[in-house]
Amino acid sequence: MRTAGHQQGEFHGVGIRAVGAYLPAKVLSNTDLEQILITRDDWIRENIGVETRRVAADDEWTSDLGAEALRDACARAGITPADVDLVICGTYTPDNMAPPTAMLIIDKTGATGATGFDVNSGACPGSVFALDVGAKYVASGAYRRVAVVMADVNTKTLDWKDVGPAVIFGDGAACYLLEPCATGRGIGTTLLRSDPTRYRAVWVPREERRFRDGRPRRSAFGDNFAQLSGAAVRAFAVGEVPGFIGELLAAEGLTTDEVDLFALHQANLHIVHGIMDGLGVPRDRTVTNVQRYGNTSGASVPLVLREALDTGRLAPGDVTVLAAFGSGVSMGAAVVRWCADDDFAVPEVPEVPEAPEILAASASATSVASATPEASTSAASAGPAVRDTAAPGAVRAA
């Protein structure tokens, strides 16, 4: 087990080295929903913007999705899960109440020795809230390589007779792989904000529900069911998020014209467009996937980043704004200057050298000792080897 230890006096930027992704194999279309809900395909498209969504299998849980996303992130960075020091799982749908789902992700991926814990920041806002937690651990020097896994099985919280949530949500996972990077690159200003007076706008309360014949109605989480007020969420997102992003940019000394990509939470297509319109920014400076995946909660923003990377919409040197919002109600936003591979060429923490008296025990040892500083300097300047073994392409699915 690795133990956290602060390295005093060392300060680095924090960059997103890779973004992993995973989507369940099952695709549920609006036409499929017409068979189980009182709804219509054309209504969902016109009002929500969702056409299909992914649904986890009956035996597929948050840790399963998260493990695949972590593996994918590691493959894209040319490392293995065993090279990860800390795993943070951002979720509101843990496999069990305890221990944390991060433990299962570590076990399933072979990230042996990593420390892990969960962060429940209200589902959708987690795209930025959990990222901020992970970034602070890297910035402090406590951990060098941190995997922030965003995973939720949203559809397992649904009452499939409650149209509102059922037409919106889908399942998915993504993983930010964080490492120290060159100063001036990576994650910049981050803002977080919450308003508990709208606690019930989007929530998963515990309540008994029954069928007409009196039989208890259950979700996969028992008496816990997702609920939302679409009007309240839309008013909050379109009315407040653009101004919040404006505050972020002002704090970072940027204007909207200097942002290459706005990676926004995929609450629904019209909310994303409403935020872009509120910013006064052309809609083509964002990427949307809610049409195909639905609202994937905390995985939403990193899935947008992954798609932007795969399609060439995001490249090293680009300035991007990440913005997530939802349950709480809460919202978080961050500026990220996207890193190139060279920006991660930060030397590993050096091992403690052998004691001088041991090195002096033989002539060969003395020779090695005299050569060691030169070799160490060369290795430090070169940095760790970097390679990307994953071919570019679509998000992985089972």
Active-site residue list: 124, 265, 295
Cα 58 from chain centroid (whole Å): 23
Q: Cα(134)–Cα(148) distance, rounded to whole angstroms? A: 6
> Could you tell me the two tokens for 101?
């789902």
Print burial letters for 213-238: b (CB count within 10 Å at least 16), e (below 16).
Answer: eeeeeebebeebbbbbebeebeebbb
What's the rounded Cα separation, in Å, for the pair 110 and 365?
Answer: 37
Chain centroid, CA 307 distance in Å: 13
Separation CA 233–CA 20 (nearest Å): 28
Give the whole-angstrom CA distance, residue 56 versus residue 23: 8
Longest dimension (CA), the chain: 89
Q: To which residue do tokens 């099952």 refer?
A: 26
DSSP 8-state secondary structure symbol assigned to residue 167: T
Instruction: Please check whether residue 71 is in contact with residue 390, taking contact to mean a CB–CB distance below 8 angstroms.
Output: no
* The two structure tokens encoding residue 301: 């923003």
Q: What is the 3-state secondary structure (H, E, C) of 312-379?
A: CCCCCCCEEEEEEEECCCEEEEEEEECCCHHHHCCCCCCCCCCCHHHHCCCHHHHHHHHHHHHHHHHH
Contact 95, 101 (CB under 8 A): yes
Give the β-pairing of 26-29 and 227-228: unpaired
69 with 175: CB under 8 angstroms? yes
